[in-house]
Amino acid sequence: MHDSGLNEAERRLQPRFSLAGLVGGLLVAAIVLAVAWRWDEGPDRYAMPRRSVALTAVTIAIDPASVVPLRLVGAWRLTAPDPRFGGLSALAIDRGGLLAVSDNGVVFRFPRPGDGPPTVEIADLPDGPGSPASKTDRDSESLARDTRGRGWWIGFETSNQLWLYDRDLTHALGSLRFGRKRWPFNRGIEAMLAEPDRLEVVPELAHEVVFEAGSKSASEPLGGVGSDISDMVRLANGETIVLMRNLEVTGFRLGLGALVRTTAGWRVERRVPLDVGMFMNLEGIAAEPRADGGTRLWLVTDDNFQRPMTTALFALDVPPGRWRGRD
C-alpha cells in the first residue's frame, strides 16, 4: 500500500523504530550465541548425596493459541535449592509422578504441579560412561522404561552409549555401546523408545532411526525433518511423536510432529509448532493416556545452567484420534 497518508511525525518515528528493532534483534542474537558458545562447557560434575528439597512451581503465562491444535493445560517455571537442579533433558511418567534425568547425570523425581507435596528427590546416577567427575561423560539425554520390567534405559549422547539401570536407578545392569565415532561429538543419542523386542534410537542429527536388538543393529534413513530431534514418545493410539528443536539467532524454534514410516524410510509429518518462548529449550517429553482416549503430553526444558534460560514444565492435551498437524 502507498504510504503517502503517513503524516510527518510518523515519518520521523520510523527510523527510530527500525533502530530499536535492530538493537533488540542484536541483543537476542548475542544472548543466543552466548548460550550456543557455552553449549558443551557446562559445570564440572561433583558427586553429591541423595536428598529431597522443596520444589517451587510458578505459573507461566502462555498464549493457548501458540500450541493449537493441542490444548494448553498449564505451564510452570520450576526451581529448587540444589545446585544439581537444572539441565533436564529427558522425562517419563513413573509411580504417579514425573521422572527426569539431566545432561549432568542426575535423576529427579517430583509430582505434577498441584498433585502432591512440592518436593523433588535428587540423586546422582550410580554409574555410567567414563569418569563420574566429567559432565561430558555423563551427558544423559534420553530415557525409556525397559519393557521386560528390569528398570530404565538411559542414553548418553557424547559417548554414544545406552545403559540399563534398575527400577530405582540405584545401580547399573548393563550397557550397549555404539562407539564414539558413530555420530559427531555431542550429536548422538537424543531420543529413544523401548519396544518389547528392541530399542529405537534417534540421534540429534535426525538423519536416521536406529534399531538395537541385543547383538543386532540396523539403521533406516530419516528424511525431511529440517531440524534437530531432542526426544520422542509414543501416544495412546500408537503413533510416535518427535520433539523438534533448532537454535537460531532469534531463539529456539520448536515443534512436534508424527514420525511416519514410508517406502523410503522415515519422515516427520503433521507438524505442530510450539511458540512458547525464545529461550525455552525443550528437551524432554512424556505421555500418559487420558480417560477420553486422548493423551496428555508433559514437556520439560533444559536451562543449560545459565540465564536467561529456565527450567520449565508444560502440560498439553492431545485430542482422541489421529495426531493432527499442519502438513
- 263 neighbors 238 (Cβ within 8 angstroms): no
Structural domains for the chain: 38-318 (2.120.10)
Per-residue pLDDT tens listing for the chain (327 residues): 444 443 444 344 344 434 444 544 555 555 555 554 444 444 577 889 999 999 999 999 999 999 999 999 999 999 999 999 999 999 999 999 999 999 999 999 999 999 989 999 999 999 999 888 888 889 999 999 999 999 999 999 999 999 999 999 999 999 999 988 899 888 899 999 999 989 999 999 999 999 998 778 899 999 989 999 999 999 989 999 999 999 888 899 999 999 999 999 999 999 999 999 999 999 999 999 999 999 999 999 999 999 899 999 999 999 999 999 876
* Alpha carbon distances (Å) from 47 to 79, 162, 167: 20, 21, 21
Prediction pTM value:
0.87
- Specify the pLDDT at position 282: 97
Residue 214, amino acid: G
- 105 neighbors 128 (Cβ within 8 angstroms): yes
**Which pairing describes strands 216-223 and 265-273: parallel, antiparallel, or unpaired?**
parallel
- Specify the pLDDT at position 326: 73
Helix, strand, coil % in the chain, rounded to nearest 5: 10, 45, 45
Q: Residue 49: how many CA atoms within 13 Å on its side-chain side?
A: 3
